[in-house]
Amino acid sequence: MEARGLYESPEESLKRAEVLGRLDQIVNSWVKKVTQNKGYNEQMVEGARAMIFTFGSYRLGVNGPGADIDTLCVGPRHVNREEDFFGELYRMLGEMREVEDLHPVPGANVPIMKFKFDGISIDLLYARLAVWVIPEELDLSVDSVLQGLDEKSVLSLNGCRVTEAILSIVPHVRNFQTTLRCVRYWAKLRGIYSNMAGFLGGINCAILVARVCQLYPNAVASFLVSRFFKVYSQWKWPNPVMLCPNQERSLSLPFWDPRRNVRDRRDLMPIITPAYPYSNTSYNVSLSTLCVIKEEIERGKEICEAVEADKAGLISLFDHFCFFSAYKNYLQIDITARNLEDFMNWKGWVESRLRLLTMKVDRDTWGQLQCHPHPDGFLDRSKQFRSCYFVGLRRKHGGCDKKGELFDIRSTIEEFKNCVGLYTSLKPGMCIGVSHKKRSDIPLFVFPGGIRPARCSTRGVGRVCGEVIEKSRNFSPLQAVEGVVGRKRTANESDTSYKFRKCDYVAMSRSDALAGDIKAEEGASVQPLEYSLTPLQEQVIKTCSSLFNNGGEEELTTPFSTVASASAVPQKQVIKFSFTSLVQANS
């Protein structure tokens, strides 16, 4: 991993520490200034302070070169978020020459301020505690710190509390860190590292790896990587992954509990945080993205088994997934704005809504048309303030084949655009369009250097195309596509496709078949979780037609205004769409 540049240099580590120290000075000056401006006495001004905490990959010790630092600013009760954090502190930062790309997002679920300080990317949250003076020795892991807080402050604190809980739970921190680095790197190269797109994010990977570390407390990192894929290839989703049992607390804050909350029962891949209030970190996962994740985990398991049998090298685990060669049909989502500020705000909003497109297609086609969203966006430099996103399309493998029935997702696309158009800060020029693209029509700007590579093989594990295309850091502020290996499609792939359902939830315990099998076979240590749920057997299942018979690759036509009836179906069965190339979002 060092050879692949996953570790930052000592110089960069030192610079990060210096930036955090400078940021600590800035927020303390800010709190004192706000306290003085609000008319408090000199003693109050002198004792006023804020504190900076880190969480996420930096605090876990797995950040790589150029990664941002997730930070939390904790302030006293008289310093609020709206006027002081997004007001006075924003102005202070904007006047500093070290600060670049300052971008506040006050309307986010967890309000955040993004910026670069002396070249280091910072994501800054704010939590206002219910105290007049922040104590010098503040412990965020105790539940009492949550008392009297507003919802946004609780959510902001959750990142630090979860990170500290994970570090305290894992048996061997160094082995955990090495394994997590490996899993994160694998997920990025295979195109499934994006919580926003409905895949795995940093906290998802951390909890999944921590659970494997619990099962094998004395294992080294190489063994843990292999068992990561073995455990989760056998995991019976939607059984939740939990590092500790969910316990009711005196604060009575809402937390993830499918026994009480109907919404929690719909989660497809629950990965639960170990800190109160417990939450599902993978609520964005859809039927389609779960299918992709399971395929990649199965591929990883097969490679690890081949490595153990001396039939393959572990390096093949980290082959790039060639997204733009894996599918024959794609959706292209284009967004534009009139100026940079509007574009950044619009882009952030649309990215937070993109997962809804996948979920709506899953819903309206009953899982028969599966979506694979690309985890990154692409800047179209031929036009100012334009960004594009792509979704790979394929029919469900193993679906029924009933001639004459066609998918019509025009209303699905319109519903998605209307949902995006509900943006409260929508301005003239903020537009979104959705169009169908065949593989050969994918625009060249998504490829590094603007050159379309030879099509990568999508058969077999570990097969690499002629030339590995490395990610170009200079391609765009978003990410250049990484291209090499296609996804293996196994004979029993239909088992990885899912119907909408309300599923049973059974937490992992000594009596679980999976844990029992692992323990009996390999002597794993399984910690019991005192957690059981009432099973729900209701399933909402609807059979949809299979529309293709062309060797496993779908054919999507250009837009049609109407859907052909059964008697008017052409010889080659098709999915029909109706899109506009670029229209203004409905407000």
Domain map (residue ranges) of the chain? 10-165, 170-312+503-522, 323-395+406-493+577-584
Q: Do domains 170-312+503-522 and 323-395+406-493+577-584 have the same CATH topology?
A: no
Query: Could you name the CATH architecture of 10-165?
Result: 2-Layer Sandwich (3.30)
Token couple for 49: 């302070």
Q: What is the pLDDT of residue 339?
A: 94
- Give one word for 283, left, alpha or beta, with left for phi > 0 and alpha for psi -120 to 50: alpha
Which residues of the chain fall below pLDDT 50? 403-404, 458-587
Topology of domain 170-312+503-522, per CATH? Poly(a)-polymerase, middle domain (1.10.1410)
With respect to CATH, is domain 323-395+406-493+577-584 assigned 3.30.70.590?
Answer: yes
Q: What is the pLDDT of residue 568?
A: 31
Q: What is the pLDDT of residue 479?
A: 29
Query: What does residue 577 show for φ and ψ, rounded to 5 degrees?
Result: -125, 160
Q: E strands, 269-362, where?
A: 329-336
Q: Within 216-286, where are the H helices? A: 221-233
Secondary structure class of 396 (helix, strand, coil): coil
> Is-above-0.85 flag for pTM?
no
Token couple for 550: 């062309």
Q: What is the pLDDT of residue 398?
A: 65
Residues with Cβ < 8 Å from 269, sequence gap 6 or more? 237, 238, 282, 285, 290, 293
Q: What is the pLDDT of residue 399?
A: 60
Cis peptide before 238 (omega within 30 of 0): yes
The CA-atom distances, in angstroms, between 370 and each of 162, 289, 357 are: 33, 8, 11
- For residue 394, the surrounding DSSP H or E stretch is strand 386-395
Cis peptide before 535 (omega within 30 of 0): no
Token couple for 525: 């240590």
